[in-house]
Every structure is written in C-alpha cells, then in structure tokens.
Structure 1
C-alpha cells in the first residue's frame, strides 16, 4: 500500500515527537507518538483503506469520528476508527478486510 508513492499528507511540524513503529499491511512504517492512524496511513500512502463494498479506495472523510468511513481492522481482529485512534508501537494495521 505505501510503496514508494508520495503520501496524501505532508508533515509540516511537530517532528520532534517520539518515533513509533507500526505495520501497515505487513510493511514497517515509522510515525510519531500522538499521530492518529489516519495521519500515519496518509503520510505514507495515498489511501486509508479499500471499501468492503467494492466501491474503491477510501481516504477518510470527516476526520472527527462522525462519518464512519475510516473503520480499519488491526491484526488482532479489533476494529478501530483511524481518525480517533492514536498509533501504538507495534500496531499491525490492515487496509483490507481479512479473508477467511
């Protein structure tokens, strides 16, 4: 997902916060303590997730937890809102629904 493409977001400030390492679809990604999952994902890629309804990639919408468009799955199976969930060291984030 993240590859070498430029991210949707660019970090302009607050670069001195503690680094945190997460995994996005198995790829190790560096972000900063206090970042939301939405921020981390869009700093490193062009999309937040793929729609489970087959209508394409999503990039979040309201950025405040109201629209329900940013739900993601973690490797643990937990579902979280990307716009209101802060990154934690070692988090394993999935941008597609797990297939059984």
Structure 2
C-alpha cells in the first residue's frame, strides 16, 4: 500500500511518471523516476533504514535534507550513502547499515 500523496489541494495531481523497481533488504519496492530512496521507502511504509552502529537502535529519516546522516544505507555495495539525497535507479540494491564491532572499549583511548 502506497502512502504517497497523489493529489495535493494546492499543488494539484502528480503527473504520470515512469516507475522503477529497486530492492531494500531483499524485498522489491516500486518508486518513481526522480524520487529519492528515502522518499520511496517512506511511501512504502518503511520507517527504519538502518540501526545504530554500536547500540543497534533503529534509525530512519530525520531531517530528509542531507544534514543529519541518519538515513545512511548501502547502495550497490557502497556504504554510507544518504538515502534522502540519492535518487532511485532501476535495479538498485539497497541494504540497511548494521551493528559494527566497537574498535575501542568505552572510555579507552589509543595512545
């Protein structure tokens, strides 16, 4: 079920656009040309785009203008791509970031 606004009371109806399919965490989603990864996933009801690297707490779209980096995903094997700034392309493979090993113990510093 899409949660896109298809008719806006001020802006009017969306023009017909070409749809593309992409993959997020193994599931196939439909987006429209010119739509960002974040926008397409938000319209599809996906709210968690990654988890915090150390704690594993869910992260999603926060600012949606490229400032906060909370929407970082992996795109076609490239890590830390901002979903809110990256346009969807046909066949794109997107995966969420995951928990990483902590390089240093809490409070510890390399000398």
Counterpart residue number, 1:12: 5
* Mapped partners of 1:62, 1:98: distance in 2: 22
* Corresponding pairs, count: 92
With a CA cutoff of 8 Å and minimum separation of 6, indicate the structure with the bigger relative contact order.
1
Calculate the TM-score normalised by the size of structure 2. 0.70
Counterpart residue number, 2:37: 37
Q: Which ranges of 4 or more aligned residues in structure 1 deviate by more than 6 Å?
A: none
Change (3 A) 1:97 1:77: farther
Calculate the TM-score normalised by the size of structure 1. 0.77
CA RMSD of aligned residues (A): 2.2
SS in 1 for 2:78: coil
